[in-house]
Amino acid sequence: MKINFLTKSEDFTSERLGSVLSDHEVATDFNSIGSEDILIVDISLLEELKEHFELFKKHAKNLVFVSTSNDYNIKYAFDILSKSAPPYHIVGLNSEVCLDKVAELVNSILSKSPLNLSDMIGAYKDNVEVKIQDSSKISETIRDTLGQIEFDNCFSQIKDNLSQLINELLYNALFNAPTDDAGEQQFLEQDRKDHVSLDEGKAATLKIYNSEDRVFTSVLDHYGSITKEVIDAHISKNEVSDKAGGAGIGLNLIYNNSHELLFVVEPGVQTEVISVINKYKRFKQNMKHVRSFHFFIKE
Amino acid sequence: MPSVKQKSLEIEISPCDGGNEFKLSGEINEDLIVDELVGFKAGVVKVDFENVKMINSCGVREWIKLMEALANQGSKVEYYNCPQIVVQQVNMVTGFVPEGGSVVTFYAPYFCDDCEHEEKVLLVSNELDGREAPELKCGKCGSMSEIDAMEDVYLNFIPE
């Protein structure tokens, strides 16, 4: 088993990647790729690699796209990959952080153990946690919850961004996630003006950890029904849907308001969506940060 | 002055030169009832977003329906005092500003490197030099502060 790395970046080289993945062989071509091998691809090479899209599709879960430039538009990558090889993992930022992140991700894929909130927050345990059963309480819950948190040393827009992000995450958890015994989505097409109430044991859980440099938001539902196909179809969508139910652009808003976005799905059991926002002093830095994306299926 | 009170949003409607002004307060979400806001005298509709606190995806959809209804009755829509959350939708969502509509004034974040003061500054679209925001005096220390956003993205709604 080896790690295949393709890049044209002068900063983010295979030698440097090899230095943080010293236990593994890092190769720089796509020859003789084994089924368990990991592919790491510089996203700015996508146009040149179109002939490999079938290979990408075959190795989708072991394929990590890395954005080595702040200028590269990740949404463009989603758009060109969406039809043939929708990405499971994109890592943003051209920095040491990126290198460490890729190493962390490679180890996670190899151990078949998804990245998780506990590891991400480390020793930081101060958080707000609330359960939500009733969709009519979403706005009030967000106001109360964010009202308890101080976001010092950070661009002021973060509260509005978080408010929108959490709103979309909770609506997804209460309207899109619930399934009946036959596995059919119960409230998918329900008018959002009509509220839903879940059984107590099925209530969604919202957690917010506000550390010195990042804000972690997690929303967990007890259904595990979201699929990769739904995410691929909506994450870069910017036209509202006329269909009954949601507007179809919520996932795009969630992605746009996150610096890292993770879906960890245990099919039929639960989905946890984790959003990480870096607390920059300047809004411009917040805009520039390339957005990372991960989709894990917990087996 | 008539006021339409909906579940999450209050809309004060007052006559203005050539039409009506809609002054919004609250959240634009799924509870927006479009039918209550159409049927006024056609002409210009000036929408003041100053006190809009939140907008979600279902609110965006209802808003687009409202804009389509206003366009169908022959109204021309102008947006005023758009906060950042509204500018985000303007740039991101197709149809958020209807055909023939425009963003007249909007808020942009400004940051002063000298004293690290952040402020939201109201800019007038047609006073800008394309998608370039001017440097302005910091409201706290008087040094020059610059727009705290990627101009090509944040000012994308302004025609080049």
pLDDT tens by residue, A170-211: 999 999 999 999 999 999 888 888 999 999 999 999 999 999
- DSSP letters for B58-94: HHHHHHHHHHHHHHHTT-EEEEESB-HHHHHHHHHST
What average pLDDT does range A2-30 have in this prediction? 79
Nearest chain B residue (CA) to A237: B93
ipTM over 0.90 threshold? yes
At position A248, the amino acid (one-letter code) is G
B36 in reach of chain A (CB within 8 A)? no
A267 band by pLDDT with thresholds 50, 70 and 90: very high
Note whether A240 contacts B61, CB cutoff 8 Å. yes
**Which pair of structure tokens corresponds to residue A104?**
């962390």
Residue A11 has pLDDT above 80, yes or no: no
Residues of A in contact with B27 (CB under 8 A): 139
User: Between B30, B85, B93, which is nearest A238 by CB?
Assistant: B93
Angle at B51 between CA B48 and CA B55, to 5 degrees: 95
B28 band by pLDDT with thresholds 50, 70 and 90: very high
Nearest-neighbour CA in chain A from B118: distance (Å): 8
User: Between A238, A246, A287, which is nearest B58 by CB?
Assistant: A246
Residue A55 has pLDDT above 90, yes or no: no
Question: Between A158-171 and B57-72, two packed helices, what is the crossing angle to 10 degrees?
Answer: 90
3-class SS letters over chain A: CCEEEECCCCCCCHHHHHHHCCCCCEECCCCCCCCCCEEEEEHHHHHHHHHHHHHHHHCHHHEEEECCCCCCCHHHHHHHHHCCCCCCEEECCCCHHHHHHHHHHHHHHHCCCCCCHHHHHCCCCCEEEEEECEHHHHHHHHHHHHHCCCCCCCCCCHHHHHHHHHHHHHHHHHHHCCECCCCCECCCCCCCCCCCECCHHHCEEEEEEECCCEEEEEEEECCCCCCHHHHHHHCCCCCCCCCCCCCCCHHHHHHHCCCEEEEEEECCCEEEEEEEEECCCCHHHHHHCCCEEEEEECC
Residue B1 has pLDDT above 60, yes or no: no
pLDDT of residue A245: 72
* Residue B143 φ/ψ, nearest 5 degrees: -70, 175
HSE-up of A106 (CA within 13 Å, CB side)? 27
Helix (H/G/I), strand (E/B), else coil: B146: strand
pLDDT of residue B32: 93
Distance (Å, whole) CA A147 – CA A141: 10
Q: Report whether A136 contacts A195 (CB < 8 A).
A: yes
Distance (Å, whole) CA B46 – CA B21: 5
Distance (Å, whole) CA A166 – CA A172: 10
HSE-up of A52 (CA within 13 Å, CB side)? 18
Residue A167 has pLDDT above 80, yes or no: yes
Residues of A in contact with B60 (CB under 8 A): 240, 247, 249
Strands (DSSP E) contained in chain B are 3-5, 9-16, 19-28, 44-55, 76-80, 102-103, 105-111, 118-124, 136-137, 144-147
Q: Which of A163-177, A281-295, B12-26 has the lowest mean pLDDT?
A: A281-295
pLDDT of residue A93: 61
Note the pTM of the prediction, 2 decimals. Answer: 0.93
Note whether B61 contacts A193, CB cutoff 8 Å. no
The DSSP bridge partners found for residue B77 are: B45
Residues of B in contact with A283 (CB under 8 A): 109, 111, 118, 148-149
User: Between B61, B88, B148, which is nearest A247 by CB?
Assistant: B61
* Residue B90 φ/ψ, nearest 5 degrees: -55, -45
pLDDT tens by residue, A67-106: 876 655 666 777 777 777 788 898 876 555 677 888 888 8
Within 10 angstroms of residue A216's Cβ, the number of other Cβ atoms is: 19
